[in-house]
């Protein structure tokens, strides 16, 4: 049998034809790339890691700045950025909100607590043994068991 060879379809054309969630993701991703380019053109002095896109909803894009200084710089250019973004995204995003988040998306690593040393010195065991001699009977048994751990 003859093998049927089909030319692969371009993903961009499929996403343009599609409606629904995937088309929205594609449009928003392209809009983010456009926003990145706009900010690079308007604020060339901003370092790459000084800001990030935090969220988008309806016609609003939330930008997080790493420090108040960079946030203020973005605030100065906010109108220019939002006008350019509205023009280049055909009105999908018209508003920009700028927030300060000095930690970014950094996750704090949880350090395991240091386990205390479970060994006991012979001197400590001897002190516990001396205390146990004058203790009441119930406490005496417990202290003697504890003192045995130090004599091992």
Whether residues 25 and 92 share a domain: the answer is: yes
Whether residues 96 and 23 share a domain: the answer is: yes
Whether residues 34 and 90 share a domain: the answer is: yes
Query: Is the pLDDT at 24 greater than 80, yes or no?
Result: no
Whether residues 29 and 80 share a domain: the answer is: yes
Is there a domain that residue 143 lies in? yes
Whether residues 24 and 95 share a domain: the answer is: yes
Whether residues 124 and 94 share a domain: the answer is: no
Looking at residue 2, its pLDDT comes to: 66
Looking at residue 15, its pLDDT comes to: 56
Whether residues 46 and 94 share a domain: the answer is: yes
Whether residues 60 and 89 share a domain: the answer is: yes
Looking at residue 69, its pLDDT comes to: 92
Provide the residue range defining the domain that includes 144. Answer: 120-152
Looking at residue 107, its pLDDT comes to: 59
Residue 45 CA to its chain's centroid (Å): 25
Are 131 and 116 a contacting pair, CB within 8 Å? no
Looking at residue 112, its pLDDT comes to: 76
Whether residues 126 and 54 share a domain: the answer is: no
Closest CA to 132 of 146, 116, 118, 150: 146
Query: Is the pLDDT at 81 greater than 70, yes or no?
Result: yes
Pseudo-torsion of CA 103, 104, 106, 107, nearest 10°? 80
> Global pTM?
0.55
9 vs 30 pLDDT, higher one: 30
Each residue's pLDDT tens digit, 101-143: 887 766 566 677 777 777 788 888 888 888 889 889 889 999 8
Each residue's pLDDT tens digit, 84-94: 888 888 888 88
For residue 78, what is the domain's CATH number? 3.30.300.180
Number of domains composing the chain = 2
Is there a domain that residue 111 lies in? no
Query: Is the pLDDT at 27 greater than 80, yes or no?
Result: no
Whether residues 41 and 86 share a domain: the answer is: yes
Backbone angles phi, psi at 117, to 5 degrees: -70, 125
Whether residues 124 and 54 share a domain: the answer is: no
Confidence of residue 11 (pLDDT cuts 50, 70, 90): low
Whether residues 126 and 72 share a domain: the answer is: no
How far, in Å, CA of 105 to CA of 134, rounded? 59
């Amino acid at each position: 049998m003859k093998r049927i060879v089909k030319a692969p379809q371009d993903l961009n054309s499929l996403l343009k034809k599609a409606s629904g969630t995937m088309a929205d993701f594609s449009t928003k991703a392209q809009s983010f790339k456009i926003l990145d380019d706009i900010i690079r053109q308007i604020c060339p002095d901003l370092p790459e890691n000084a800001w990030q896109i935090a969220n988008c909803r309806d016609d609003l894009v939330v930008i997080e700045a790493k420090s108040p200084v960079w946030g203020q710089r973005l605030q100065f250019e906010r109108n220019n950025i939002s006008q350019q973004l509205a023009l280049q995204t055909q009105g999908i995003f018209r508003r920009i909100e700028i927030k300060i988040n000095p930690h970014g998306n950094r996750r704090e690593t949880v350090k395991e607590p240091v386990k205390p040393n479970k060994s006991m010195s012979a001197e400590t065991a001897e002190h516990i043994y001396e205390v146990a001699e004058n203790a009441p009977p119930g406490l005496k048994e417990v202290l003697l068991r504890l003192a045995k751990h130090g004599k091992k």
